[in-house]
Amino acid sequence: MADLVYRAGEPFANVLRIVGRGPTLGRPLEVEEAEAAMAAILDGRLDELQLGAFLLTLRTRGEAAAEIAGFLRAARARLPDLSALAVDLDWPSYADAHKQLPWFLLAARLVALSGARVLIHGVAGEGPAGTRAALAALGVPQAGTVGEAARALDRTGLAYLPLEGLSARLAELLALKPRLGVRTVINSLVRALDPAGARARIVGVFHPPYLRLHAEAEQILGRGPCAVFKGGGGEAQRNPEKPCRVLHVEAGEVREELWPALLGEDRHPWRQEPLEVGRLPDLWEGRLEAPGPIAAVTGTAAIALHLLGRAGSMAAAQSLAEALWRERPRLARAA
């Protein structure tokens, strides 16, 4: 087989030849090829037939870390400059439907109370229990501009940016799911987007194979520390009833951490709960006592605090998260 190479400016049919010639002749794109392909997609230089063929081919074949790395290079080159936000922790939220409440938002709030600057970004999703509805219940507004995000970070250490405000094109590509019938590589791309170039990233995935995919993409990109784990609905939300396998990527190395379960399944049911976003502020303000959600909040925050170097061990990070939870009224008043 001739060694096909795709370069910027060439017909997109050449990309489809590389990825679509079957298990024997086809191959994944290399980083530079993937960057050129995503640049063509984001710049609108291909038709809908080619776009659908590309996305579904990658979905069927499976994604490659080099492709994710290349796609990220192209996507980040087309984002507004958010470096002035000086974000410590990037927190993507891209579940399109929540089967549980997004308790991880309280974990992000705890991390912000520790002095870190936390940026959440994502999509609206479906149903009454999505991230945006929960943020509204918590009194956290969406930032419509970089300036609004900066002011929120300065004031509370926490800000939320909608994807459509960062990249209307990426938002359009994610919205293709009802037409294509399945999620696509764009779901992986936006989770790793890190629009502000944060010091560290926390990423939740739905399917275990995506753990290694994201970790290897981080290795290729050589970015700062990242924690990837299987979370509820694909969000960075820890299930407190089960051990949590975390891939910690830093300095080009992948370290596997196994965080212990925090609750027994027989004592604190975790799966069934009313999807009422008012339960989040109730838990935060102490009007609701729910051991499962509290453990999910502190357990998720512990992963983030450990990632940021606020604690030297998993046990110390969990203790710090629990102390922050106990002290949250005082810390919030001081902030």
Domains for the chain: give ranges and CATH numbers: 13-77 (1.20.970.10), 83-334 (3.40.1030.10)
Two tokens at 71? 């796609």
Q: What is the pLDDT of residue 267?
A: 59
H helix and E strand count, the chain? 16, 7
Q: CB 146: neighbour CB atoms within 10 A?
A: 19
Contacts of 178 (CB under 8 A, 6+ apart): none
Residue 23: helix, strand or coil by DSSP?
A: helix
Q: What is the pLDDT of residue 272?
A: 78
Two tokens at 131? 């991230």
Q: Do 160 and 143 touch, CB atoms closer than 8 A?
A: yes
Give me the residue label for tokens 């912000």. Answer: 112
Per-residue pLDDT of the chain (335 residues; tens, 9 = 90+): 346 799 988 999 999 999 999 888 999 999 999 999 999 999 999 999 999 999 999 999 999 999 999 999 999 999 999 999 999 999 999 998 888 999 999 999 999 999 999 999 999 988 888 999 999 999 999 999 999 999 999 999 999 999 999 999 999 999 999 999 999 999 999 999 999 999 999 999 998 989 999 999 999 999 989 999 999 889 999 999 999 999 999 998 999 999 999 987 665 566 778 999 999 999 999 999 999 999 999 999 999 999 999 999 999 999 999 999 999 998 888 87
Two tokens at 61? 């074949």
| Burial group, residue 269, by CB count within 10 angstroms (0-12, 13-18, 19+) | exposed
Query: What is the pTM (predicted TM-score) of this model?
Result: 0.95
- Written as one letter, the residue type at 269 is P
Secondary structure (DSSP) of 206-261: SSTHHHHHHHHHHHHHT-S-EEEEE-GGGSS---TTS-EEEEEEETTEEEEEEEPP
Give me Rg for the CA atoms of the chain: 20
CA 52 to chain centre: 24
CA 233 to chain centre: 11
Cα–Cα–Cα angle for 286, 115, 282, rounded to 5 degrees: 15
Q: What is the pLDDT of residue 3?
A: 64
